[in-house]
């Protein structure tokens, strides 16, 4: 039976959102949470960007140590052989290759440099380069698939499969799809091509979650596995993307969706903490009505609602808040508070580690090195360090140190004076 899997794209599509940013270390923490959640794959970044190189190399080292469990770490590439070669050099073995397919973008983005035949050729050459280079999995993205002629889209998916691709990514780049339309198109595409389908939906019309679940349903009804692309909290370009937790909950509790099999070993108890961390890292408030994790997601005031919830929670709560890791009291220190960070000292550092249950090495030089690592981390993030961040950093200091190291690899020389 076909299954639905979840691919998180927070660390690629989410972080390229205008006006909000996340540090390389914070991206690493997101990967750590996603692995604990149990998603199939994290799209971790752009291997062709030099400022991502140390970060990606460190992710691969952490993966080899088992820090991310069985979660695949995938790099996003353009349909360009050089992008694949850069990723392979960094140790990546899972890729998604992207190129535009709609006539709108062929004519008004490529401006006559590529036509439909050239699009197919560029895609096939890049897939073959990935396979010949030792790639484990390859997904092929049709950017603006929702505005692409369906017959051409089917040919594109068939040619991708023949070249060695494992999955086809249906990109609703403009967020213009509707649930019925995407279901029919994806089901037809799945039946004609036989390749697994990823759903990558933007939220310009407020339908990204509905379109993702409907498209996944179409893929599975068409006989292939479905892969939903989503971000933590639905953050993404313009109006955002599908929300990871909402799409998971839809297949667990949604009418007409519960009969489909989730192919990932999910543990939703990390969901509440992960959502809160992502909002914190981006410097954004959590909307009060955010599904599952918002302050009002399980709040009741109206008399009939409060009465019904007190009699039996399932009168007015579709799922239990405990499954998301909610319900535990959260305390805030109101007396003495000791923190460690950019200007912290050894005594305060030891105190914080002791409270967190972290055992420091006996060698004083090593302890001093770990203190300095937390100082640099605080400077890197420009936010107070959270307990999970400190734990991850102190357990894997060499990899985290690499993440903090960015050496500019500029494509041209410039004068010391800079811009006049």
pLDDT, tens digit, for every residue of 15-27?
999 999 999 999 9
Report d(CA 389, CA 385) in Å as an integer.
6
**361, 320 Cβ separation under 8 angstroms:** no
pLDDT, tens digit, for every residue of 343-374?
999 999 999 999 999 999 999 999 999 999 99
| Three-class SS state of 168 | strand
Q: What is the pLDDT of residue 64?
A: 97
Q: What is the pLDDT of residue 59?
A: 98
Q: What is the pLDDT of residue 413?
A: 65
**231, 223 Cβ separation under 8 angstroms:** no
Q: How confident is the model at residue 418 (pLDDT cuts 50, 70, 90)?
A: low
399: which residues sit within 8 A by CB, 6+ positions away?
A: 58, 61, 62, 65
DSSP 349-417: HHHHHHHTTPPPPS-HHHHHHHHHHHHHHHHHH-SPPPHHHHHHHHHSHHHHHHHT------SS---TT
pLDDT, tens digit, for every residue of 221-261?
999 999 999 999 999 999 999 999 999 999 999 999 999 99
Report d(CA 357, CA 353) in Å as an integer.
6
Report d(CA 266, CA 269) in Å as an integer.
9
Q: Is 298 exposed, middle or buried (0-12, 13-18, 19+ CB in 10 A)?
A: middle
Q: Which of 29, 30, 49 lies closest to 90, judged by CA?
A: 49
pLDDT, tens digit, for every residue of 4-13?
999 999 999 9
Tell me the pLDDT of the chain averaged across its residues: 96
Q: How confident is the model at residue 419 (pLDDT cuts 50, 70, 90)?
A: low
**395, 361 Cβ separation under 8 angstroms:** no
376: which residues sit within 8 A by CB, 6+ positions away?
A: 342, 401, 404
Judge whether residue 149 has pLDDT over 70.
yes
What's this model's pTM, rounded to 2 decimal places? Answer: 0.96
């Amino acid at each position: 039976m076909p299954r639905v899997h979840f691919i998180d794209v927070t660390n690629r599509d989410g972080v390229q959102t205008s006006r909000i940013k996340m540090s390389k270390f914070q991206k690493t923490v997101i990967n750590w949470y996603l692995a604990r959640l149990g998603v199939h794959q994290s799209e971790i970044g752009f291997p062709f960007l030099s400022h991502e190189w140390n970060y990606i190399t460190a992710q691969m080292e952490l993966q080899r140590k088992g820090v991310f469990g069985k979660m695949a770490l995938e790099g996003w590439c353009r349909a360009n052989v050089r992008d694949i070669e850069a990723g392979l050099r960094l140790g990546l073995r899972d890729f998604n290759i992207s190129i535009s397919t709609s006539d709108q973008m062929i004519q008004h983005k490529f401006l006559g440099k590529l036509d439909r035949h050239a699009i197919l050729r560029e895609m096939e050459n890049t897939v073959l380069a990935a396979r010949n280079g030792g790639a484990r999995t390859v997904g092929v993205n049709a950017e603006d698939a929702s505005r692409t002629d369906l017959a051409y889209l089917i040919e594109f998916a068939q040619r991708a499969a023949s070249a060695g691709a494992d999955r086809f990514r249906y990109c609703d780049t403009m967020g213009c799809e509707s649930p019925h339309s995407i279901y029919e198109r994806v089901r037809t595409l799945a039946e004609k091509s036989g390749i697994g389908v990823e759903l990558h939906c933007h939220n310009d019309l407020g339908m990204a979650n509905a379109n993702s679940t409907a498209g996944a349903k179409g893929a599975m009804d068409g006989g292939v596995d479905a892969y939903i692309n989503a971000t933590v909290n639905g953050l993404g370009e313009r109006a955002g993307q599908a929300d990871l937790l909402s799409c998971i909950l839809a297949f667990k509790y949604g009418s007409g969706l519960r009969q489909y099999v989730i192919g990932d070993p999910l543990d939703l108890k990390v969901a509440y903490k992960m959502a809160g961390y992502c909002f914190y890292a981006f410097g954004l408030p959590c909307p009060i009505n955010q599904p599952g994790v918002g302050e009002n997601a399980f709040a009741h005031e109206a008399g009939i609602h409060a009465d019904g919830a007190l009699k039996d929670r399932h009168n007015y709560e579709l799922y239990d808040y405990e499954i998301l890791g909610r319900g535990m009291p959260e305390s805030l220190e109101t007396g003495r508070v000791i923190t460690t960070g950019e200007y912290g000292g050894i005594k305060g550092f030891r105190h914080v580690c002791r409270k967190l249950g972290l055992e420091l090495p006996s060698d004083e030089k090593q302890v001093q090195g770990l203190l300095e690592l937390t100082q640099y981390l605080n400077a890197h993030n420009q936010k107070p360090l959270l307990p999970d961040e400190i734990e991850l950093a102190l357990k894997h200091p060499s990899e985290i140190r690499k993440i903090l190291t960015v050496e500019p690899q500029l494509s041209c020389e410039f004068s010391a004076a800079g811009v006049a």
